[in-house]
Amino acid sequence: MSLCDDTLLCNFPKCRNKLSGFAWVTACSHVFCDQHGSGEFSRSPAICPACSSALSGKLDIVRTELSPSEEYKAMVLAGLRPDIVLDISARALAFWSYQERMYQEYSLSRADTQLKQMEKVLTQQNQSRELELNAMRGEIASLKKVMEEYKRKYSEVSERLMERNRQYQKLQGLYDSLRLRNMVVGAGEVDTVPQPGYQDFNTVARQATPQRSPRSFALGPDRDSRIFSCLEADGTKTFFQFSSPARDKGRPFISNH
């Protein structure tokens, strides 16, 4: 409220509503709405609800109209000397100044109350944020420990993996060398396998060897005939009588009688 504002507020502590219509004015420069004024000043002795002053005089409490008619304005001060009119006006202005000061004090008190409430809320929020910050710091510290543990495990696993890779490379080299050796041995065995229908000289010679050894004999001028006669006596063929299987197949069978 300002001096140029034509609206008063009820001075009842729990009201503070704008006044309109009729109001109750006290000698202690307080004003109340018609509802609270009628209720508070109906009992005796009357006590001001704003300052607790006793209002025992006949004119200590006046119910007045806030928007008087033009006829009332023309007649209320009519016939009074100018000094009385000025005195009445000065007192009326002093009343408005007092209401202005009261309004400022009320506004300051309300602002101070709101400020204290906001400070209290801010303090609670700061405490809550500090608790959350401490909790987050503890969580970060625990996460750092977990990360260090994971790093250590990762280092161990990496070392094991490198060792396994080295072992694998070694085994792979051994496997390749063994496979190459087996391939070479297998190729050699394939080369030495005789073809079907083919016999080499050593095989034929072993087959042509008699099962039992001939008896010992002395070599003489006719030793060649004796050797061949000994072989013939045993029913075996001489070296010059051997032939290849392919050649035998091509000849017809002739029996010697």
Is 28 inside a domain boundary? yes
Containing structural domain, residue 49: 8-67
Q: Are residues 29 and 53 in the same domain?
A: yes
Residue 203 lies in a domain: no
pLDDT at 207: 53
- The pLDDT value given to residue 215: 46
CATH classification at residue 28: 3.30.40.10
Is 92 inside any structural domain? yes
Does residue 122 lie in a domain region? yes
Are 122 and 147 in the same domain? yes
**Residue where one domain finishes, among candidates 129, 161, 183:** 183
Predicted confidence band of residue 59 (pLDDT cuts 50, 70, 90) = confident
Phi, psi (rounded to 5 degrees) for 31: -135, 145
* Cα 64 versus chain centre, distance: 71
Q: Does 190 fall in a domain? A: no
pLDDT-derived band at 157 (thresholds 50, 70, 90) equals very high
The residue ranking higher by pLDDT, 128 or 106, is 128
Residue 14 has pLDDT above 50, yes or no: yes
User: Is 245 inside any structural domain?
Assistant: no
pLDDT exceeds cutoff 70 at 208: no
Considering the domain architecture, whether residues 25 and 97 belong to the same structural domain is answered as no
* 89 vs 186: which has the higher pLDDT: 89
Whether 217 is covered by a domain: the verdict is no
Number of C-alpha atoms within 13 angstroms, CB side, residue 81? 3
Q: Give the model confidence (pLDDT) of 29-54 as tens digits.
A: 999 999 999 888 888 888 999 888 88
Check whether residue 32 and residue 99 sit in a common domain.
Answer: no
Q: Looking at the structure, tell me whether residues 112 and 41 fall in a common domain.
A: no
Q: How many CB atoms lie within 10 A of CB 99?
A: 18
How many domains is the chain partitioned into structurally?
A: 2
Q: Which of 164, 183, 202 is the last residue of a domain?
A: 183
Confidence of residue 1 (pLDDT cuts 50, 70, 90): very low
pTM of the model: 0.46
Structural domain contains residue 36: yes
Residues 91 and 149 in one domain: yes
Same domain, 28 and 109: no
Asked whether residue 46 falls in the same domain as residue 89, the answer is: no
Strands 46-47 and 54-55: antiparallel
